[in-house]
Structures are given as C-alpha cells and as structure tokens.
Chain A
Amino acid sequence: NAGVTQTPKFQVLKTGQSMTLQCAQDMNHEYMSWYRQDPGMGLRLIHYSVGAGITDQGEVPNGYNVSRSTTEDFPLRLLSAAPSQTSVYFCASSYSDIGAQYFGPGTRLTVL
C-alpha cells in the first residue's frame, strides 16, 4: 500500500491563480480530511468527508473547495489564491469515525 499520497510536493502561485492539490489513498478509507499547518498554530481542519459524495466544512474553510467523487480521491481546490493561503497542506484518511488518521507527506504552497 502506498498509503496517503499528495501531489505536488511544492507549489508557487501568484495571487489570483487557481490550483488543485491532489490527495489519494489506497486503504479504502471512508473518512478523509484536509488540514493546513502554519508556524505556531498547529494543524487546522479545512474540510472533511465521511464518504463519497459527502463533504463538510472544518475550522478554516474560506477560500477552499472540495469534492469527493470516489472513495480514493479528495482534491482541494483554491479558486483564487491569496498570500494568506501560504502554508503546508496535509491530507489525512481514517477507516472509521473513531479510527486513527493517517497523514500524507504534505504540499508546501507559497502564494506571492
């Protein structure tokens, strides 16, 4: 198993550009989440999904969109990037509502 994979590893955007951060897992996990990590602030939940076709907002959802068309994939879209979205983004998945979360290696995003 590859576990949770994320692409790209690094990305630089200009203000106003759009992009999609990819996340995939091969563990057949129903639950998937997106977090952002900023210095001194830990990880904050952006969006999460409890299964294909079902998504909900987390603590900091503004400026981000998600969809879940398959169990394996959970992409995060930035429609109009802003410097405040400069961060490291982590995707995670878990097999159940009360199971351990497994994190991907992260995407480091810089918005100029």
Chain B
Amino acid sequence: GENVEQHPSTLSVQEGDSAVIKCTYSDSASNYFPWYKQELGKGPQLIIDIRSNVGEKKDQRIAVTLNKTAKHFSLHITETQPEDSAVYFCAASTGTASKLTFGTGTRLQVTL
C-alpha cells in the first residue's frame, strides 16, 4: 500500500518568515495530494490540494509543489502569522478521495 513520509515533525519559525514542510510518497499511482491543518481539539481542515497533472498551486500565502518523478510534494507558507501555528498533515491518494494515506504531521509554531 501507499506510504507517506513527512518532515520535519516540528518546525519553529519567527513571524514573517517562510515555512516549508516536505512529504514523500511511495505509490507512483497516487494522483491527489491534499494538505490539512489541524488546530488543537479540532478536526483536520483542508487548506490546499494538488493533482498529479499540476506542478504547483498557490492560494494567497500558501503554495504546494509536486515533483512526480521524485515522488515528493511540499507545502510552502510565506509571511507566517501566529494563527498559522497548528499541526499540518500531508496526504496522498490513488484517486479515491475517501481513501487518503496521511503523513505523521508537522507541528508548526510561529513565534513573535
């Protein structure tokens, strides 16, 4: 089955700096890659996703890049703010959105 590895497990940045979280996947058939943000005591919330026919996608301060050859994808957050502090999860799927394989999460802390 699919295996998704996520790094780093914790990340601390100063407000205004950029943050990058990286994930690798094992199944070359995977074609859907969402990123979720989870705040304490809440369920994961989708923040951005990308499909295998696209190399990069941006939404304001958030961007995701995908390298199908290397089987890795990354989340980029620019101009970080304290409210960006949360746990971020990457995931991969071979096409069935209801069958996601998640990474182990990155705890992002944005300090003032």
Could you tell me which A residues sit within 8 Å of B by CB distance?
4, 31-33, 35, 40-45, 48-50, 58-59, 90, 92, 94, 96-106
Contact = CB atoms under 8 A, between A and B. Distances in A.
Contacts, number: 73
Interface in B53-112: 89, 91, 95-105
A38 to B, nearest CB: 10
Interface of B: 1, 4, 6, 32, 34, 36, 41-46, 49, 51, 89, 91, 95-105
A97 B102 contact: no
A94 B102 contact: no
B97 A97 contact: yes
Nearest to B105: A42
Contact of B97 (A4, A43, A99, A105): A99
B98 A49 contact: yes
A31 B89 contact: no
Nearest to A30: B98
B42 A33 contact: no
Contacts of B96: 31, 48, 50, 97
A48 B98 contact: yes
B6 to A, nearest CB: 8
A92 B98 contact: yes
B59 to A, nearest CB: 13
25 contacts: A4-B43, A31-B96, A32-B98, A40-B104, A42-B4, A42-B89, A42-B104, A43-B89, A43-B91, A43-B100, A43-B102, A50-B96, A59-B1, A59-B101, A90-B43, A97-B96, A100-B34, A100-B46, A100-B97, A101-B34, A101-B46, A102-B46, A106-B41, A106-B42, A106-B43
